[in-house]
Amino acid sequence: MRTSLALCTLLLLIGPGLPTAGQTPKQEKQPAAQPRLLWRLPGYSYLRYRRGGSRGDGLGTRLTAGFYSHEVQKKRAVRFSRFDLGDLLPMMALSLSGQSPKQGSTRKIGMQITDCIGAGTFSLRGRVQTHGVEDPTRIEQDGRFKIVGTEKAKAGPGKHDPHGAIRRPAGPRGAPGKRYIQEAVIEFERVVDAVAGRVLSFEGKITGTAVRTKGEEPKRFSHEETWRFESLIRPDSAGFRKLVNDAIESGQDWLSNHTRGSTGQKALILLTLCKNNPDRDTDAVQELLDDLRSSEPRQTYELAVAIQALESYYESPNESARIRRGEATAPSPRRLSKEDRALMTRWLERLLANRSQSGGNRWRFHYTSDPGFDNSNTQFAALGLQAAERCGLTVPKETWLGLAWHFLREALDGERKKTRLRLTSYRELARRKKQGKQSRVTSAGGKEIRIKGFNYHKAEPTSAGGRRMRIRPTRTQFAYGSMTCAGVTGLTVALGALRRRKQRDGRLLAKVQAARMQGFA
């Protein structure tokens, strides 16, 4: 009896909400957790958008609406590799918070922008507010950010901007040129698919005031545009290959009908047409060839491209395709006519004479034989020298040694990161395909390679009073893609030439090969 009374008293004290013996506890229904707002992109992919409603005063923007997966930092912030003032709107509208969205929540954001092409250094402060979270595939948000220029920017452009942002008041052919932001506001509305991890669309505007020249009164600017997601393109997909082939075909058709220009431009058009069309008897090719034979190129760019164009004219039809299929391992010798061989010999002598006067044992090039140099001219010179050798002309061995040493010393350490990398040949890919294996080779099992890149030219130590002075790194010393390709090309061309000459310095060849892999990484 006492036991029954005690049990009844306990149940009354606890209350009816808890289960008695034999009952199953009732679970309260919890709201489903929203996925975090992160970009979920496969590696080496490209997101393509359709731009619409673009209007304003012509702020500098990207030519195409879209970006690469490597331009997303930590799956959140989108930072274009190179961006202008008008690109701030899509960059902010595409950047995600990395947090789970909540109805009515507001996230404050602040950052410092230092590398915008079309404006000076400035700070950016604002917020992103969430309105609709019922459907995680269509989350609605709006953002508003205020841009405030630095004191140096408010004072107007000077001769020496420490951030390299503004050097001249206007660009060529009516381009908007450079300007300093004094103040501006970015506003946008967007729709985010949190499940797929992408921004589906946004529409917004950027308005404000800026100055272009010192002492100029601030002028207002305004720019509006809309982006809508179109497709995600993978580099190994059939769709991507079709886009590339279509672009090549349309570009070739356009070049065939636009054969006028300087010597360098004509040589570049001829080189492109010969590389992409086995037919050498077209009117465009013959017209360009006649013009090139009667020209007198002097500068490094035009000499190097002219030599390559003439070499490509004598290239065997479909040779590049045969190499890609693994049917050939190297280009076949070119058999020039007597007249063209004499012409190329003269061009080669001029190209070698354009070597920079300040290189020491390093071979490097500028536009002419002045003390300056840059890696773009040097890369083109290397390609021209390689083309001359394919035509049976002789390039001194010390030239290739000097080019190898030049690019070895131009490599930048970057952020001291490493990645796994494995290179393969077209012949290996063809063999794998013939054996029924996957033709795509990944970096799995590859070596861990330290990443190094190149830029236009590496800042060098100078001397003062007989002492060596160390130059602090500046933003001009950061590597970027196009010039890293130039560095890798220069190293590859020099390495091939030294191997053909049976270079005995194994340590040098190992250094060049290592630097080449680091550039690929």
By C-alpha distance, which of 374, 380, 325, 322 is closest to 351? 380
Which token pair is 255?
């070049």
pLDDT of residue 441: 57
Could you state, in order of their start, the residue ranges of all structural domains in the chain?
A: 46-233, 259-395
- The per-residue pLDDT for 344 is 95
> Any residues with CB less than 8 A from the CB of 121 and at least 6 apart, and which?
112, 113, 114, 149, 150, 152, 153, 163, 165
Q: What percent of the chain has pLDDT over 90?
A: 31
| Least reliable range by pLDDT among 190-194, 256-260, 415-419 | 415-419
- Please name the helix (run of DSSP H) or strand (run of DSSP E) that holds residue 162, with its range, or none: none
User: Is pLDDT above 50 for 468?
Assistant: no
Q: What is the pLDDT of residue 214?
A: 61
41 residue type, one letter: L
Q: Is 283 exposed, middle or buried (0-12, 13-18, 19+ CB in 10 A)?
A: exposed
Q: Is the pLDDT of residue 6 over 50?
A: no
Q: What is the pLDDT of residue 313?
A: 93
Among 123, 116, 126, which Cα is nearest to 179's? Answer: 116
Cα–Cα distance between 59 and 71 in angstroms, integer?
Answer: 21
**pLDDT given at position 19:** 45
pLDDT-based confidence at residue 459 (cuts at 50, 70, 90) = low
pLDDT at 193 over 70: yes
User: So what's the pLDDT on residue 264?
Assistant: 92
Predicted TM-score (pTM) of the model is: 0.67
What is residue 415's predicted lDDT score, i.e. its pLDDT? 59
Taking residues 126-140, report their average pLDDT.
Answer: 92
Residue in the structure block whose two tokens are 């992409």 = 276
Q: Quickly count helices (H) and strands (E) in the chain.
A: 14, 14
pLDDT mean over 304-321:
90
- Residues paired with 449 in a beta bridge: 419
- pLDDT at position 115 is 66
Q: What percent of the chain is modeled with pLDDT above 70?
A: 77
